[in-house]
Amino acid sequence: MRVGLFTDTYFPQVSGVATSIRTLKEELESAGHEVYIFTTTERDVKRYEDPTIIRLPSVPFISFTDRRVVYRGLISAYKIAKAYELDIIHTQTEFSLGILGKLVAKALKIPVVHTYHTQYEDYVGYIAKGKLIKPSMVKYVMRGYLNDLDGVICPSRIVYNILDGYEVKIPKRIIPTGIPVEKYRREDITKEQIAELRQHLGIAPDETMLLSLSRVSYEKNIQAILKCLPKVLAENSKVKLVIVGDGPYLDDLKDQVQQFGIEDAVIFTGMVSHDQVAVYYKACDFFISASTSETQGLTYIEALASGRPIIAQSNPYLDDVVTDRMFGTLYQREEDLADAIIDAIIETPELTADAYEEKLYEISAERFGKSVYAFYLDVLITEENRNSHKLSLTVRKNADKPRVLRLARGAVTMPKQAVSLTGKASKKVVRAPKKMISSIRDFLD
């Protein structure tokens, strides 16, 4: 199968959406499919270094200058998508490249599906200080984008319920984003490394380390953890909170730490290197988040893959993930957070090997990739059935076999071991001729 992913956000931009897209690309490619990402240009990234990543001219977005939007490239994107003979387009944004992906799919007469990543009601305040788009308008904007698509992937029951509330009528399927679990299982990380990090952070062996790891912004609600910490410390003085990350709300949080008088219990690390993230997970006793804006939250399952329980506010997604007390403690209301922390420290049972292995597969990238591919096939089968009703019996008898049969046969006859990938490039990139790269440059220039 040949898939086009259209997204405003991709590496080197760091976000949960970018991570989800890269994970999907890698899993589909490892199964023998071809995946092409249509995304924005980046200042420090060469436009033609990877023929499977097509970067279209873009500018910084108004209110999120670290995010970009495409301002031209429809014709070139169409020509490239046609040259690559895409079978399906999968949009990952409702804005510039999402709209462009819909137009390309319409021109090519191929299906287009979408993943709904963001609960926009929590973010409209960033756009023109909330004066341009009101939360009540989101429903109509999103419904307008989605209702003429062939299907939508919901990363959680939260998203499914949101889209039901928006009265989105197209087929919806819940497919949680998986992660490459071995990157967090990390049996190579030694007890000595963990002890060294805790010592570096100033956390004693008998102290409980709570880890917050996210972009430091208001909607992540780290302030709720700080607010409840004095109550926690009154019950258990051997608790330390480590806040990993950077963002626009960092200085406010540091001020709050001083106001609450909890300087000795809170450690700010700033950003940490990607290869150190797994060590931080392993070093903590609990991963903690008070965010209510997540439609999924990859950090939750990263912590579980690291073998660490979580403390978080209950929602439909986490209710499906935290299926046993050994995986974490969920609280119902923000005012219950302090008690949840105290109870979790006392009552969380040890994680069993069998439960851990079962959870690893449940949250794995492998399962994620297979589930998305199955959804693609269902959409293509529906399209073929719809098109077949438009053909006369004679035409159908003499027509070539439907594309979906070719795709299904390809899945059955696929070699057991996919091509060895270099730098996470697809099979086509590994053997990509210079002519292909030149043709992309010709389209874009």
Least confident span in 96-110, 177-191, 234-248, 407-421: 407-421
Would you place residue 440 in the very low, low, confident or very high pLDDT band (cuts 50, 70, 90)?
low
The sign of the torsion formed by the CA atoms of 97, 98, 104, 110 equals positive
Q: What pLDDT shows up at residue 295?
A: 77
Percent of the chain with pLDDT over 90: 75
| Cα 54 off chain centre by | 20
Q: Give pLDDT tens digits for 85-120.
A: 999 999 999 999 999 999 999 999 999 999 999 887
Taking the C-alpha atoms of residue 110 and residue 94, their distance in angstroms, rounded to an integer, is: 18
- Please report where in the chains the tokens 């060294």 appear, as a residue: 196
Taking the C-alpha atoms of residue 201 and residue 13, their distance in angstroms, rounded to an integer, is: 28
155-167 burial code (b ≥16 CB/10 A, e <16): bbbbbbebbeebe
Report domain 2-178+365-444's class. Answer: alpha beta
- Cα dihedral: 22, 27, 33, 35 (round 10): 0
CATH superfamily of 182-359: Glycogen Phosphorylase B; (3.40.50.2000)
Q: Say whether 287 sits in a helix, a strand or coil.
A: strand
* DSSP per position, 71-124: -S-HHHHHHHHHHTT-SEEEE--SSHHHHHHHHHHHHHT--EEEE----GGGTG
Q: Tokens in use for 75?
A: 């014709």
Start-end ranges of CATH 3.40.50.2000 in the chain?
2-178+365-444, 182-359
Q: Which amino acid is at 67?
A: R
Residue bearing the bigger pLDDT, 439 or 283:
283
Q: Give pLDDT tens digits for 122-159.
A: 666 555 455 557 788 999 999 999 999 999 999 999 99
Taking the C-alpha atoms of residue 310 and residue 288, their distance in angstroms, rounded to an integer, is: 6
Q: What pLDDT shows up at residue 281?
A: 98
Phi, psi (rounded to 5 degrees) for 152: -135, 135
| Cα 351 off chain centre by | 26
Q: Tokens in use for 92?
A: 């990952």
SS3 percent helix, strand, coil of the chain, rounded to 5, is 50, 15, 35
Q: What is the mean pLDDT of residues 266-283?
A: 96
Task: Say if residues 295 and 321 touch (Cβ distance below 8 Å).
Answer: no
Q: Give pLDDT tens digits for 391-436.
A: 655 455 555 555 655 565 555 444 343 333 323 334 444 345 455 5
